Amino acid sequence: MNYHDPVLLQESIDGLDIKNDGTYVDATYGGGGHARMILKKLDANGHLYGFDQDEDVLVNLTENERFTFLNYNFRYLQRVLRLHSVDQVDGILADLGVSSHQINQADRGFSFRYDAMLDMRMNRETEFTAADLLNTYSAEKIQLILSKYGEVRNAKTLAETIVAERAKKPIQTTADFLLIMNPLVRGNRNRYLAQVFQALRIEVNDEMGALEDFMKGCLEVLKPGGRLVVISYHSLEDRMIKNFFRAGNAEGEVDKDFYGNISRPFKAITKKTILPTEEEIRINPRARSAKMRIGIRSKGE
């Protein structure tokens, strides 16, 4: 199965600065592209743990005695590692993008290119879908989600239209939703629809809450000097990662001691985000919005 082309592959492996006998986590296993590269760097004493909540990845698993797959959302990083008697690790990698496989599976409802049920669940064991959101949330709450997570320009109009139309007929499929949206599209159609679908997906999967829990877990399990590499795809994710690197919390509120010294949980490897090359974007267009940050866990935190 061609599940997913790993983004910023060599850059992320370099960023981890892998020790051959170290313990590492691929927090977003997906197609296993990053994981296979990490395993190549490990000897018999090294180990890699892979997290992914999507059961579709089970057909793609790497068979290796130095690899353990954990079928959980990465927000439970610390708790699940402890269940496996792992308290600290040398490095963690997370690629926050939705996989090509998920987008291209019509029945998952992630893409406006296919007519399917409005699902968008990354973990199909959960019950709440995008259709549930559209048919139950208030206009005010839908507007907030569209504005905050998708930066949709006419969020208020679209939200009110959704509520008015669902009173006539429940919104169940992509086709139902496109009929409502088409007259309201502003600017480039594909970009507009992508922003709307992104906003719904983030809410359905509580992606920002999961990312915050994950970052908190990273602070607990990374050894001093350990490395965290995170690839994000929209500004809200990148801002939260930047805040955690700088201050150790989602809001970016710095903690100062009695003398005014700022406690910094991570030392950033580079001041600016690392971006894919033009060549990578040409080969893999989904890499175009990727941004990578690398942090070293500070000592004494």
pLDDT of residue 59: 83
Q: Identify the three-state secondary structure at position 193.
A: helix
Burial of 127 (0-12, 13-18, 19+ CB in 10 A): exposed
Q: What is the distance between the alpha carbons of residues 16 and 19, in angstroms, rounded to a whole number? A: 9
Q: The tokens of 91 are what? A: 């490095």
Over residues 13-51, the pLDDT tens digits come to 999 999 999 999 999 999 899 999 999 999 999 999 999
Q: What is the distance between the alpha carbons of residues 25 and 35, in angstroms, rounded to a whole number? A: 9
> Does an H or E element contain 24, and which?
strand 23-26
| Residue 265 amino acid letter | P
Q: What is the distance between the alpha carbons of residues 17 and 301, in angstroms, rounded to a whole number? A: 21
Instruction: Evaluate whether the domain defined by 9-100+207-297 bears CATH number 3.40.50.150.
Output: yes
Are 294 and 268 in contact by the 8 Å Cβ rule? The answer is yes
Q: What is the distance between the alpha carbons of residues 88 and 44, in angstroms, rounded to a whole number? A: 18
**φ, ψ for residue 71, nearest 5 deg:** -85, 65
Instruction: Evaluate whether the domain defined by 124-204 bears CATH number 3.40.50.300.
Output: no
Enumerate the domain spans of the chain. 9-100+207-297, 124-204
The residue ranges of the chain whose pLDDT is under 50 are 1-2, 301
Are 36 and 30 in contact by the 8 Å Cβ rule? The answer is no
Q: What is the distance between the alpha carbons of residues 75 and 51, in angstroms, rounded to a whole number? A: 10
Q: What is the distance between the alpha carbons of residues 178 and 170, in angstroms, rounded to a whole number? A: 13
Buried b (16+ CB within 10 A) or exposed e, 74-84: bbbbbebbeee
pLDDT of residue 1: 43
Q: Is 225 left (phi over 0), alpha (psi -120 to 50) or beta?
A: left
Q: What is the distance between the alpha carbons of residues 220 and 265, in angstroms, rounded to a whole number? A: 11
Over residues 182-224, the pLDDT tens digits come to 999 999 999 999 999 999 999 999 999 999 999 999 999 999 9
Q: Which of 55, 47, 130 has its CA nearest to residue 99? A: 55
Q: Which of 56, 79, 30 has its CA nearest to residue 218? A: 79
Q: The tokens of 87 are what? A: 């308290």
**pTM of the predicted model over 0.85:** yes
Are 292 and 276 in contact by the 8 Å Cβ rule? The answer is no
